Structure 1
Amino acid sequence: MIDDKDLKALMDYGESENPVVSLYLDVDLTKRTKEEVMLVLRGLLKEASAQADKADIERIRDFFTLEYDWQAKGVAVFSCEKSGLWQTYSLAAPVQDGVYVMPKPYVRSLVILKALHDRYGIALVSREQARFFLLLMGEVMEYEGVVGSIPGRHKQGGWAQARYQRHIDERAAQQLRSAAEAFVNLYSKEKWNYIILGGTDENTNMFQEFLPSNLRELVIGSFAADMTASTREIRDEALALAQAFEKKRAASLVKEAVTKAAKGKGAAIGLDDTLNAVREGRVQVLLVMPGFKASGRACENCGYVTVQEIENCPFCSANMVEVPDVVERAVEQTFKANGKVVVVQDGEELKKAGSIAALLRY
C-alpha cells in the first residue's frame, strides 16, 4: 500500500519532457478472472500506445505477465523509462481501470482512494488479554496481541475471598492498563485516523480511561465481542461502525461548510472560491464529490489554477496553460499542504453547493 511519503514524492515529480504512463487496474479476482483482467490491460495499453514510449508499454505488460503476484485488489503503475521512473503499488481496494499519458504522474485516483479509506485501529480487550487490529479498505489485519496472566476463580469464602477478589480486580485493571500502554506505543508507529474498541462495556470503558486524551478523542464507538472472535467477525463489526461514522461525518462537514460559507467566514463553496482558498493554503478539509472534474487553466510558474480563460497569471504574470482537470490540482495541492481530503459519497447538499467545498484554517 502506498503511504503519504510515496504519494507526495509522486506529486513532487516535476513535469518531464518524456511522457509518463500512469496505469490503474482493478485486479480483484472475486469480480473477474485473470484472463478478463489481462484483456482489460491489453486494451488500456493499446489506448496509451499512441502517446507513450514503446519501452514503457512493454515494461508494464511484462510486469503483469511475469512479476505480479495477483494478491491485491488494485494496482497502480507509474512508468517513464527515459526519466528513470518506475513505481508499482499493490492496493488493498479496487480502483477504476484507467490509463493516463501525461508529463507527470496522474495521482488523483490514489488521493481519492486514501480519502475514501481512513485507517482504524481496533482494540479487543478483556480482563485477561488484548488483541489489536488494523481496519483499512474494508480488510482487517491483526497485530501481535498483549497477553496477561490473571489468576482463576478462588473458592475460599469470607474476608479471604473478598481480599482475593480485590487482588483479581487489581490484576485485571493492571492488565488493561498494560494493554492500553501497548496500544499507545503501537499508535505512535501506525498513526490511525480513528479507533474502535471491542469487548464488554465494563472492559472497554476501563481501557479507554487508561488511554491519553488525544487517543480517547479518536474513539468512534465500540462493539461486543468475545476474545476468541475470528478476524472476519471483527471486520464485520468494525466495518459497520466505520461506515456509519464516515457517512455521518461527511454529512456534518458539508453542513458546516455550507453554514459557514453563508455567514461569509471559515468556509468556501463552489469551484471558484474553493480554488482561491487552495491557492492561499487555507484549506483544512477539502470536500469533493467522486468523479467531479472541471477543465481550466494552470500557471506554469506558481501553480495557480482557475476555470477562468486568462492568458497570464494574476499573481506572477507567468503563462497560463490549459489543464484537463483543475479539481485534480486542488486535491494535490491540499494534500501537499497537509490538508485533509474527504470524498462525499452521498452528497446531495454538496452537489447543490457546486460539488466541491472547503473548511478553512483561517
Structure 2
Amino acid sequence: MMIELKQRLRAIEQRLAKEALGSFRANTSRVLRFLEEHKLFRQSLALFSDEARGFWRWYDFNVPLRGGVWWEPAPHLSPLAEALHEYERFGVILTNRTHSRLFMVYLGEIEEAQEAFAAAEVKHIKTPARDQLRSQPTNQRHAERHALWHLKNVSDKMDRLAAQYAFDRLVLAGPPEVTSELRRLLPKRLRSRVIGLLNLPVTAGQPQVLEATMSIEREIETAGKREMITDLVTAAAKQNHAALGLADTLQALQEGRVWHLIYAEGFAAAGRSCPNCASLFADQHESCDYCGAALQPVEDLIEPMAERVLSAGGMVERVRSSVDQQLQAAGGIGAFLRF
C-alpha cells in the first residue's frame, strides 16, 4: 500500500506549480508519518490534511471504499458519498419469549440501540403436589400470555425506533417460532422491510450478530446488483434512457443526462479534460470539441465523472467484482439517464 501511495503522491507533485510544492510536501510528510506510526486499520482509511489551516482528520471504516489520492482546495468526498448510497441501514431485533435486544447495523458497524426489556416472569408458588399438577396448565397459559405481551411490546418499541433511526431493512433474530410470531405482529409498514430471519440465541455477542446480518446484506446486494446491471444492459440495447461503455456514457454526461452512474470495481480509464468548460474525453484529443481550449491529461476519468454526477444530484455506484461480469463485458461503465 505504501509503495502505491508514494507513487501516486509523486505523480501529483510532478503536476503542481512551484509555489504549491511547499504546502503539498508538508501535508505529504504528515500523512506518511501517520501511516508509519499507525499500522492497524480496518478495511478502509480516509485521511484529510491541511497543514496551513491546522486541519487534520482521519477515519477508518469496516467496509471497502474506492481508493485514491487527491490534492484539491476542498475535501474529496465522492468515495464516501458512494458508500453512503451503496450501504443500507439495517435494524435487527434479537429476541426470545422474554427478552429482546435491538441493534442498528450500518457501514459494517453495529450499535446496540437500546437495552433489552423483559416481560414479567411467571412466578411459581410452592403448593402440594396435587395442586402443582393442576396449576401447570395455568402457568403455561400465563407464560404464553406474557410471551405474546412481550412480543407485542417489542413490535411497538421497534415501530418507534424505526422513525428515530430511519433504517432501510429489518432482520429478525432468535428462535424460529418466536421470529415467525414477531413478524406476524409487526405493523405492515415494518413487516414489508423484513428481509431475513436468523436463528441466534438472545445472548449472542455483537460480532456474531454483525456477521450474520452482513451475510444477509451481501446476499441482498448481490441479487440487487445483478438485477440492476441486467436492467441497464437491456435498457441500453433498447436505447431507453440508458448508456453503456465509456464513450456513450461520457456523451450523456456532457449533455447533462446522467442521473445514476454505474461502474465495475477496478474500472479505470485515462483521458483528457477541458480546463475551460470541464468537458471530458476518452481519447487523446489535443483541443476541446466544444470550446477549442487545450486539453489536460486525466489519470482516471471516474473521478471527474463521479464528481459531476454527484454535484448534479445524481447517484454513483460501484459494482463489486463478484457480480460485475455482465457490466465488464459491456465496457465496464454505464448509466441510467434522466431523459
Alignment TM-score, normalising by the size of structure 1: 0.70
Question: How many residue pairs end up in the alignment?
Answer: 320
| CA offsets 1:184-229 (integer angstroms, 9 cap, x no match) | 14423xxx44333212344334444555655544433221111011
Q: Are the equivalent residues in 2 in contact too, given 1:331–1:341 (CA < 8 A)?
A: no
Unaligned runs of 5+ in 2: 125-131
| Shift, 1:140, TM fit | 3.5
Task: Please say if 1:348 is aligned against 2:325.
Answer: yes
| Shift, 1:351, TM fit | 1.0
- In structure 2, the partner of 1:325 is 300
Alignment TM-score, normalising by the size of structure 2: 0.74
- In structure 2, the partner of 1:129 is 99
Equivalences for residues 207-222 of structure 1 within 5 A: 207-209=182-184, 215-222=190-197
Q: Secondary structure at the match of 2:295?
A: strand
Task: Please say if 1:60 is aligned against 2:31.
Answer: yes
Q: Distance in 1 between matches of 2:57 and 2:139?
A: 64
Q: Distance in 1 between matches of 2:277 and 2:187?
A: 42
Amino acid at match of 1:345: S
Q: Secondary structure at the match of 1:237?
A: helix
Q: Are the equivalent residues in 1 in contact too, given 2:95–2:179 (CA < 8 A)?
A: yes
Q: Are the equivalent residues in 1 in contact too, given 2:265–2:318 (CA < 8 A)?
A: no
- In structure 2, the partner of 1:145 is 115
Q: Distance in 1 between matches of 2:172 and 2:116?
A: 15
1:177 corresponds to which of 121, 138, 155: 155
| Shift, 1:137, TM fit | 4.9
1:272 corresponds to which of 241, 247, 262: 247
| Shift, 1:271, TM fit | 1.7
Q: Are the equivalent residues in 2 in contact too, given 1:267–1:357 (CA < 8 A)?
A: yes
- In structure 2, the partner of 1:203 is 178
Q: Distance in 2 between matches of 1:145 and 1:261?
A: 50
1:311 corresponds to which of 283, 287, 294: 287
- In structure 2, the partner of 1:6 is none
Task: Please say if 1:286 is aligned against 2:264.
Answer: no
Q: Secondary structure at the match of 2:162?
A: helix
Amino acid at match of 1:321: L
- In structure 2, the partner of 1:233 is 208
- In structure 2, the partner of 1:246 is 221
Q: Are the equivalent residues in 2 in contact too, given 1:116–1:343 (CA < 8 A)?
A: no
| Shift, 1:253, TM fit | 0.8
- In structure 1, the partner of 2:129 is none
Q: Distance in 2 between matches of 1:349 and 1:40?
A: 29
Q: Are the equivalent residues in 1 in contact too, given 2:151–2:185 (CA < 8 A)?
A: no
Amino acid at match of 2:214: L
Comparing 277-286 with 124-133, greater Cα deviation is found at: 277-286
- In structure 2, the partner of 1:8 is none
Q: Provide the alpha-carbon RMSD of the alignment.
A: 3.9
Distance change >3 Å, CA 225–CA 264, structure 1 → 2: same
Comparing 122-131 with 317-326, greater Cα deviation is found at: 317-326
- Give 1 or 2 for the bigger CA radius of gyration: 2
Amino acid at match of 1:168: H
| Shift, 1:255, TM fit | 0.8
Unaligned runs of 5+ in 1: 1-25, 27-36
Q: Are the equivalent residues in 2 in contact too, given 1:122–1:132 (CA < 8 A)?
A: yes
- In structure 2, the partner of 1:74 is 44
Q: Are the equivalent residues in 2 in contact too, given 1:130–1:179 (CA < 8 A)?
A: no
Q: Distance in 2 between matches of 1:105 and 1:126?
A: 46
| Shift, 1:329, TM fit | 2.1
| Shift, 1:60, TM fit | 2.7
Task: Please say if 1:339 is aligned against 2:312.
Answer: no
